[in-house]
Amino acid sequence: MRRVVAPVLGMAALCGSGAAAHAAPADDPTVSLALVGDIMPGAYDYGIPADGGRGTFAAVRRALDAEVTVGNLEGALTTRPGTKCRPGGGCFVFRMPPAYGAIVKRAGFDAVNVANNHSYDAGAAGFRDTQRELRRVGLPSTGAPGQIAWLPRNGLLVAVVGFAADRGGNRVQDLPRARTLVARAARRADIVVVTFHGGAEGASAQRTPWGTETFLGGDRGNLRRFGRVVVDAGADLVVGHGPHVLRGMEFRRGRLIAYSLGNFVGYRAFNLRGPNGTSAVLRATLDRRGCLVDARIAPVRLVPPGRPAPGGAAIRRVRRLSQLDFGPRAAWIADDGRIAARNRGPCRVTRRGAAAPSA
């Protein structure tokens, strides 16, 4: 049972104070979340780890420990040949062993986004293989057209809705459909998380620009506008990935938007230099109204050949990018990674009853 977000009025100026989160009543259930960016544990075309991927997440299991853990599965779980690259054309094909679906689930992931620019690296048949394997191991996915992952936790229902700038899934460019899909989730779920893959790529793409982004001639979405549209439609937390680097965070109407969490795993295929090797886990707790109770950055660094380990400069980097790009709407980030709204108003919601779907 769910609500739509009402406008936040009369915000009290709390710049620099970090007075952050809305305290949930003692008897109010909450859900803890951990969210990461791009996951590619190994690909036929670039190398398979000797341990079969079993040690990929060993160093960061504590950071991933939450009631709902979500990441972006960057590639196809299939043995089919790649269909993406033409002879002589420079491109990357991420065809991952199907067994990696179970490895990602055992690492603690509860849902994965499959809408991204590598989902169809083995064509439509390879994408179907991915969906089939995820179903087989019991790992919900989101991002295919109209697809929402429904996760019941602590007597609440969490909806995870995935998007990408690429064809074949829910698209960040199609704002009317994005609004409709998120509103549909918001009518049923207590907490709505939107995860999206978009934006330009590389070290030069750390800033979140105004307007539509492009990369290699392709439309990668107007992500500021997308983030605000989905929050207004009922999203409680919005998390991006795709640029392969961290980006800043802002608040809209009390809801946190993190524009990119960067790379998380990229075995022998991702550039790990400088900002490309700096990552993070976004940890957040939300209450039954979708209000933010607590949020913080757990810094992560990618160590060769592309596995995550605790540490690195994520907190400083996200704080600086947030200040540069979002001014008074920027997330306030403490030295320990704690996140707060600079101008916190009441978390105002209007409930709308609806029957929850079966999980």
Looking at 21-30, 116-125, 138-147, 287-296, which range is the least confident one?
21-30
Q: Average pLDDT in the 41-65 region?
A: 95
pLDDT of the residue at 2: 53
How far is C-alpha 252 from the geometric centre of its chain's CA atoms? Answer: 17
Let me know: does 298 contact 284? Beta carbons within 8 Å.
no
pLDDT at residue 4 tops 80: no
User: What average pLDDT does range 197-226 have in this prediction?
Assistant: 97
Question: Which range has the worst mean pLDDT, 75-84, 89-98, 329-338?
Answer: 89-98
Please compute the mean of the pLDDT values over residues 183-191 and round it to a whole number. 98
Residue 278 pLDDT exceeds 90: yes
Mutual angle of helices 175-188 and 223-233, in 10-degree steps: 30
pTM across the whole model:
0.92
Domains of the chain are 2-352 (3.60.21.10)
How far is CA 333 from each of CA 39, 251, 296, 341, rounded to the nearest angstrom?
25, 12, 8, 9
SS3 state of residue 176: helix
Mean per-residue pLDDT over the chain, rounded: 90
Tell which residue, 10, 19, 1, has the closest CA to residue 253.
Answer: 10
18, pLDDT greater than 50: no
Can you give the pLDDT at residue 50?
93
Whether pLDDT at 17 is above 80: no
At 84-121, the pLDDT tens digits run 776 555 689 999 999 999 999 999 999 999 999 999 99
* pLDDT for the residue numbered 119: 96
Q: How many CB atoms lie within 10 A of CB 68?
A: 21
What is the pLDDT confidence band of residue 134, given thresholds at 50, 70 and 90?
A: very high
Tell me the longest C-alpha to C-alpha distance in the chain. 62
Report d(CA 316, CA 18) in Å as an integer: 16
Specify the range with the lowest mean pLDDT, choosing from 10-14, 66-70, 263-267: 10-14
Identify the top-confidence range among 21-25, 46-50, 176-180. 176-180
pLDDT of residue 351: 42
Residue 3 confidence (pLDDT) above 70: no
Q: Is the pLDDT of residue 326 over 60?
A: yes
Nearest 5°: the CA angle 171, 175, 179 is: 105
Check whether 20 has a pLDDT greater than 80: no
303, pLDDT greater than 70: yes
Q: What is the percent of the chain where pLDDT is above 70?
A: 87
What does the alpha-carbon distance between residue 114 and residue 146 come to, in Å, rounded to a whole number? 12
Tell me the residue type at 333: I
What is the model's pLDDT at position 356?
38
Distance CA 23, CA 41 (A): 38
Q: What is the pLDDT of residue 91?
A: 83
DSSP string for residues in 106-139: HTT-SEEE--STTTTTTHHHHHHHHHHHHHHHT-
Give CA–CA dist 45/55, Å, rounded.
20
Asked whether residue 168 carries a pLDDT value surpassing 60, the answer given is: yes
DSSP state of 328: G
The pLDDT value given to residue 343? 75
